[in-house]
């Protein structure tokens, strides 16, 4: 017997109809069963038991062993990222602090430790250092400003505009600097008070032994120190190529900058000092200005070199020396907080950074 498509459709619809009824009846039966179970569970709780009468056990110390996180990470294929740097928040400083100079300190080093330019330290301590970084000495008290600029002691008759113009700064910068604690509506400053001039600057008063030629220059020992030579010499000439004047080729103290026209080479007490190039000695002995025992060599080609803070000198006025010749020993004479070699290079009377002429260390 053949079945038509219409009869197939009718049969399918009947199965869907009865299947839906079966599912609905099953759901109702399950709901009734679950309700009966909840009711039975509540019935077994005695009415005489009160919540407040329940026995509460004292908490016991439990040793909990945490899993090894590295093993867990390894098992799931994750590598933990560990940041080795700890960021410690710092609050900006707005007050001036007093610093006591210790062994081995320099204006350059102190400035670097506080994130300042060395000029800022000199400008803040003019009464003590007189613009001369070589005047620093052990136990000296130095003012350390909070930012770069000029720490200025207010004088009678000063005005904000006048002070700003003097140090090529802006009045609004002086007013807005929190450390100055100025009343913006009536910014009065008492004479003798210190005011920070952010971004301000001024010219230095340089304290140096003048460049001395080998010819007769009329140099006075009363002005420059006992080591000043009379001049009028002739002798060896330099090659224009320089070597390091000490065995050590690293710095100890000041680098070359506008307030310190030399480099301080790390040379311990008594370390040998050598002529950086051939020439004639035009200064040998004690010098004023914080240099201590000093030697200056005129190289006859426009260059002069200077070696200061020596513990002893082994050269004399008018002596011809060759490049690399032993001329003295390093030390800490003059104004110095530790043994080192103060080394200057000059050309035609002007200062040259030693880094421009010395071979790479």
State the total domains in the chain.
2
Q: What is the CATH classification number for the domain harbouring 347?
A: 2.70.70.10
Q: Clarify whether residues 186 and 226 are in a common domain.
A: no
- The CA–CA distances, whole Å, from 132 to 5, 137, 350 equal 114, 11, 18
Q: Which two tokens stand for residue 66?
A: 């945490």
Q: Which domain holds residue 191?
A: 97-198
> What pLDDT does residue 32 have?
60
Q: How far apart are CA 36 and CA 50, in angstroms?
A: 24
Task: Give mean pLDDT in consecutive 10-residue pieces for the chain, a chain of 361 residues.
Answer: 49 65 69 59 46 46 43 37 36 85 90 92 91 85 95 94 94 92 89 94 77 80 87 94 96 83 94 98 92 96 97 96 98 89 94 95 84
Residue 294 lies inside a defined structural domain of this protein = yes
Q: Clarify whether residues 178 and 122 are in a common domain.
A: yes
Q: Clarify whether residues 230 and 345 are in a common domain.
A: yes
Residue 1 lies inside a defined structural domain of this protein = no
Q: What is the CATH classification number for the domain harbouring 109?
A: 3.10.350.10
Residue 186 lies inside a defined structural domain of this protein = yes
Q: Clarify whether residues 160 and 229 are in a common domain.
A: no
> What pLDDT does residue 212 have?
87
In angstroms, the first-to-last Cα distance of the chain is: 111
> What pLDDT does residue 77 have?
38
> What pLDDT does residue 351 have?
92
> What pLDDT does residue 222 have?
77
CA atoms within 13 A on the CB side of 304: 20
> What pLDDT does residue 11 have?
64
Q: How far apart are CA 59 and CA 180, in angstroms?
A: 59
> What pLDDT does residue 36 have?
56
Residue 61 lies inside a defined structural domain of this protein = no
> What pLDDT does residue 272 have?
98
Total-model pTM: 0.61
- CB of 121 within 8 A of CB of 142? yes
* Number of other residues whose CB lies within 10 A of the CB of residue 109: 19
Residue 281 lies inside a defined structural domain of this protein = yes
């Amino acid at each position: 017997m053949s079945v038509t498509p219409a009869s197939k459709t009718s049969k399918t619809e009947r199965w869907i109809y009865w299947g839906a009824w079966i599912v609905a009846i099953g759901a109702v039966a399950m709901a009734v069963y679950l309700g009966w179970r909840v009711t039975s569970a509540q019935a077994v709780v005695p009415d005489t038991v009160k919540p407040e009468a329940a026995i509460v056990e004292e908490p016991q110390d439990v040793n909990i062993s945490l899993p090894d996180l590295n093993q867990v990470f390894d098992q799931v294929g994750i590598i933990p990222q560990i940041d080795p740097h700890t960021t410690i928040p710092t609050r900006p400083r707005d007050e001036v602090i007093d610093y006591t100079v210790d062994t081995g300190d320099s204006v350059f080093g102190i400035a670097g430790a506080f994130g300042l330019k060395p000029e800022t330290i000199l400008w803040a301590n003019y009464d003590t250092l007189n613009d001369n970084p070589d005047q620093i000495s052990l136990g000296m008290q130095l003012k350390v400003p909070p930012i770069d600029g000029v720490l200025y002691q207010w004088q009678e008759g000063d005005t904000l505009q006048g002070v700003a113009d003097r140090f090529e700064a802006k009045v609004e910068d002086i007013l807005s600097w929190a450390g100055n604690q100025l009343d913006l509506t009536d910014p009065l400053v008492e004479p003798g008070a210190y005011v920070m001039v952010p971004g301000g600057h001024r010219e230095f008063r340089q304290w140096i032994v003048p460049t001395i030629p080998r010819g007769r220059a009329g140099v006075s020992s009363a002005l420059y120190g006992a080591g000043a030579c009379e001049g009028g010499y002739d002798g060896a000439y330099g090659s224009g190529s320089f070597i390091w004047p000490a065995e050590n080729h690293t710095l100890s103290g000041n680098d070359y900058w506008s307030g310190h026209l030399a480099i301080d080479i790390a040379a311990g007490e008594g370390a040998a000092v050598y002529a950086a190039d051939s020439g004639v000695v035009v200064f040998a002995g004690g010098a004023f200005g914080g240099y201590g025992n000093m030697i200056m060599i005129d190289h006859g080609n426009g260059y002069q070199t200077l070696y200061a803070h020596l513990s002893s000198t082994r050269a004399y006025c008018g002596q011809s020396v060759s490049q690399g010749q032993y001329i003295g020993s390093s030390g800490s004479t003059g104004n110095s907080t530790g043994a080192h070699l103060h080394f200057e290079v000059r050309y035609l009377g002007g200062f040259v950074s030693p880094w421009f002429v010395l071979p790479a260390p």
